Amino acid sequence: MKTLRFTSSTSQYLSNLWQSLRRVIARYTEIRVWQKSDRQGNLYWHGYNPNNGDYVSFGTEAEIRMWIEEHYYR
């Protein structure tokens, strides 16, 4: 049986590839939060959880923080 041997450059390449893949997967599974304002200048917080498709909108930062905590600990 032949043993595979990786050079340090091959090993580094595979490590970088794995880290990149993990970042891509995380990007599509993490909760996303953003802020928008309406024409009158009122600010609103929006959130999206790609794991279950939930989309929410709140008027305060405290409300969006509570939503994040609820989804984070599920």
Note the pLDDT tens digit of each residue in 35-71: 999 999 999 999 999 888 999 999 999 999 999 998 7
- Identify whether 24 is part of a domain: no
Residue 20 located in a structural domain: no
pLDDT at 40: 95
Domain of residue 44, residue span:
30-74
What is the number of domains present in the chain? 1
- What tokens appear for 12 in the block? 């580094």
- CB contact set of 37 (below 8 Å; sequence gap of 6+): 43, 44
The mean of the pLDDT values for the chain is 85
Q: Are 9 and 20 in contact (CB under 8 A)?
A: no
The predicted structure's pLDDT at residue 74: 62
Q: Tell which phi-psi region holds residue 48, choosing left (phi > 0), alpha (psi between -120 and 50) or beta.
A: beta
State both tokens at 20: 């990149």
